[in-house]
A and B are shown apart, each in its own frame.
Chain A
Amino acid sequence: MANILNVKIFLWLSFSVIFLANGLNGDRITEKIYQRIDEGFSCFRRLNGTHQIGCSSSQSGNVGVVHYLEKKADFDWLLETGPDAPYVVLLPPDLFRREHLMTLKNSGKIAGVVVLNQTDTITLRNPAPKPPYSNDLTCPNKITGLYKEDAFSSYCESNPWNPAGDGLLFEDFKFPIYFINETKLNQSCYHKFNRPIEGTPPSYPLCAIELKAFMWAAVDTPTCLRRGRLNMMFNPQPSEYCDPLGNVNIFVPVLAANKSDGPVANRSIIFVSARMDSASIFDGLSVGADSAITGMATLVAITDMIYQFKSNIRDGDIQNVFLVFFNGEAFDYIGSGRMAYDMKNPSQSPLIGLEHVKYWIELGSLAPQAGTKVYLHTDPKSRNETEVDTKVKDLINILLKNRGNLTTESVDASIPLPPASLQSILKKDLSIPGVFISNHKSAFTNQFYNNEWDTFQTISSYKLSKHLAEVARTVSASIYELATGKQMPSNFQVNETLVESTLECYLVNANCSLFNWLLNGRSNLAAEGVLPTYVGVSHGDGAYKALSLRTRHLLAMISGETLDINKTGCINSDHNEIYHYYWLGESESNNASGTCYRSTVKTSHAVSPAFEIENYDWASGEYSSWTESRWETFSVRIFLKASSLQAVSIFVFGVVVLLLSFAVTYWVETNSVLLFPASPEAVAC
């Protein structure tokens, strides 16, 4: 009896020792095999009326042996020798170009691509690809533009607006592509295990990587929407396959506009607009510094100026000024297309229709990249009408007259508009006199149009905010003159600090003091960084993206009047047709209690009308038809991969052991009488 007890204690002890030896943290086996990499941004799938673009992995993820392509010559070794296919290639940003991607795609040896963004240890800058570099088309947004099928449609082919555009954004890849800020990957994975030495392939074990980015949608927008609809009916776990791109347009009627004021006079409102979104291949990487933010920041400054003289606006025959921030413009003019549709649609009975627009001024890219000259673009199609042409000339003359220290040039009247929201507006009503203000005459001076490298780093200059302020002053002064017929008095000044802090918040660090002030210290941003401007998807109504929310509050602060009421009173005030109430500037750390702002800032849906119109012809290109596929996870992990010979031999060994154990068990079973003689105690039972 004592013996048995001893055996039990011994067994228990030895098990404990084994557990202790394995460590008390209880790691799972997966954690011992795989090492997760979380610093990645993935390419994903988008769909339009006719195509799918972007990337997708297989459902269980794509696995490949890691191979670093440092220079062009490395491609040859990989494609000709490279015995360990499939590979996942690591590319420095400058090699992430169309020609190379197409070679890799067509080679069939590739399971995925990782763009490795390694900060240079000496310069501390990120090695951006050599400019100009853009993954958009050479003629962005042409399909839904104003000049789709007329005499001006060929202009862009011979004089592309975006000559650097390689169209990679619109390519369909069957493998995942990641953008990773991580240096360990190269050092501890590729250099340690996989680097071929003098062309000799490395030996196993090799460092492999698993990229997971499985997309649910396929084919095109009508297909994935239909599948979502059918799925909702039958599937026990219903879900959509894709969602329309869209968010909100934000607009500020400078003077309160409501229906009780009586009908708005035709051609009595000045519109000033800019876009606030851009795009890139990778999810979460779209700063859009010059693609969007320079124009947007200028419009913010203009808003601030116009509020200084808003009491003078109705001195002449102008009744109001509207400041509009469009969203989703990078994807075939989602925001402006929708607003033009709503303003033209009698069934919506819009308070302000297109017939009320007197002038339309749009701000495009404005960073002083190639000189500080600013160009005024107009549309030759609408200027065919003498009446419109006269008004456009008036508008240009007033802008030129108020240019101050700015050098401005009016672009030849026969040249069509560059990609601009104004195109969607004119598409619906050619009698609107409009001007598009930008920093380029022919091709974009923006070196990274709609690209992940369009960041503060590439447009940063000492004169940036001064230049934008100057443009804002010119436009504001012109609006003043258009409205009142008089010169703007010099006491109205641009708030340059506002321009600077806007640029800081949108381009350098979204955890800035201005944004924190606007959100009462509850910005909920984990770390320093920039918020992406990509329009994203709209799940249901009023879904705000982080950036739209901040922009709306910023405009509420600029355009709002402060009210002397407490927080509860402010928050509970009736949000009505004209006014919304905002409680801003509360801060526990600064002991600031906050202020109530009453503002006319409004939002409108920026979702393409294509998703509302019944029986819309998806191939027509009338409106944007972009959707984004749904996905479950993005994940990247590395592990050591044994050679297939080793893997197979381990498996075979396992099978042999299994069979052997069957044989032994059988043998023991048949000879049990000999092996275990019946004990006298058992007999006694």
Chain B
Amino acid sequence: MDIERLKNDSKLVLCRKYYYGGFAFLPFLWTINAFWFSRDAFYKPHFEEQHQIRQYVIRSGIGALVWLVIFISWTCVFQINRASWGELGDQLSFVIPRGIP
């Protein structure tokens, strides 16, 4: 979808939908929101809804970043400790590796 064709008020509605949708543990919505509307939020000449869009974009960006940190830390913790967690490690794995602890 080309959002450039949307009117500014519809952009705000869409941006808000993505922002609230992200709270349902959907960090990808926030990530998309942050990139998709960044041009409208920061670079476009001023328009009425820009302030609100900018807020949503910033918050979505922060949310996505927090999620990213959580993801990376969990992946590190899991990969480092999977073997030593024993049974728990296997239960948390989708594909259990062969031939290694």
Contact = CB atoms under 8 A, between A and B. Distances in A.
Interface string B88-101: 00110111101111
Interface in B17-70: none
Nearest to A236: B95
Contacts of B86: 223
A163 B25 CA distance: 65
A548 interface: no
A56 interface: yes
B4 interface: no
A218 B90 contact: no
B99 A216 contact: yes
Interface in A222-237: 223, 226-227, 230-231, 234-235
Given A227-B90, A230-B90, A219 B101 contact: yes
Interface in B76-93: 86-87, 90-91, 93
Interface size class of A (residues with CB under 8 A): 10 to 19
18 contacts: A59-B98, A59-B99, A214-B99, A215-B98, A217-B98, A218-B99, A218-B101, A223-B90, A223-B101, A226-B87, A226-B90, A227-B90, A230-B93, A230-B96, A234-B94, A235-B94, A235-B95, A235-B96
A630 to B, nearest CB: 9
Which 7 pairs, one residue from A and one from B, show the smallest C-beta to C-beta distance? A216-B98, A227-B96, A219-B101, A218-B101, A215-B99, A218-B100, A230-B90
A219 B96 CA distance: 13
Contacts of B90: 223, 226-227, 230
A230 B99 contact: no
A241 interface: yes
Contacts of A234: 94
Contacts of B98: 59, 214-218, 241
The prevalent SS among residues of A at the interface is loop
Contacts of B100: 218
B94 A217 contact: no
Given A218-B98, A235-B95, A241-B96, 19 more contacts: A56-B99, A215-B98, A215-B99, A216-B98, A216-B99, A217-B98, A218-B99, A218-B100, A218-B101, A226-B87, A226-B90, A227-B90, A227-B96, A230-B93, A230-B96, A231-B96, A234-B94, A235-B94, A241-B98
B84 to A, nearest CB: 11
Interface residues of B, number: 12
Contacts, number: 34
Nearest to A52: B101
Contacts of A219: 101
A412 B11 CA distance: 98
Contacts of A214: 98-99
A241 B91 CA distance: 15
A56 B101 CA distance: 13
A241 B95 CA distance: 12
Contacts of A235: 94-96
A532 B74 CA distance: 49
Contacts of B93: 230
A241 B100 CA distance: 11
A55 to B, nearest CB: 11
Interface in A307-325: none
Interface in A191-224: 214-219, 223
A235 B95 CA distance: 7
Nearest to A45: B99
Nearest to A632: B98
Nearest to B95: A235
A489 B93 CA distance: 70
A216 B99 CA distance: 4
Nearest to A630: B98
Given A223-B86, A234-B94, A217 B101 contact: no
A234 B90 CA distance: 12
Contacts of A59: 98-99
Interface in A296-344: none
B97 to A, nearest CB: 8
A56 to B, nearest CB: 6
Nearest to A56: B99
A243 to B, nearest CB: 14
B11 to A, nearest CB: 42
A34 B34 CA distance: 54
A234 B94 CA distance: 7
Contacts of B96: 227, 230-231, 235, 241
Contact of A217 (B87, B91, B95, B99): B99
A219 B101 CA distance: 6
Contacts of B91: 230
Contacts of A217: 98-99
Contacts of B95: 235
A191 to B, nearest CB: 34
B67 to A, nearest CB: 25
B95 to A, nearest CB: 7
Nearest to B93: A230
A472 B95 CA distance: 56
A219 B99 CA distance: 9
Contacts of A227: 90, 96
A61 B94 CA distance: 25
Nearest to B91: A230
Contacts of A215: 98-99
A234 B101 CA distance: 19
A177 to B, nearest CB: 16
Interface in A50-80: 56, 59
A54 to B, nearest CB: 12
A218 B95 CA distance: 15
B91 to A, nearest CB: 7
Interface centre among B86, B91, B94, B98 (most CB of A within 10 A): B98
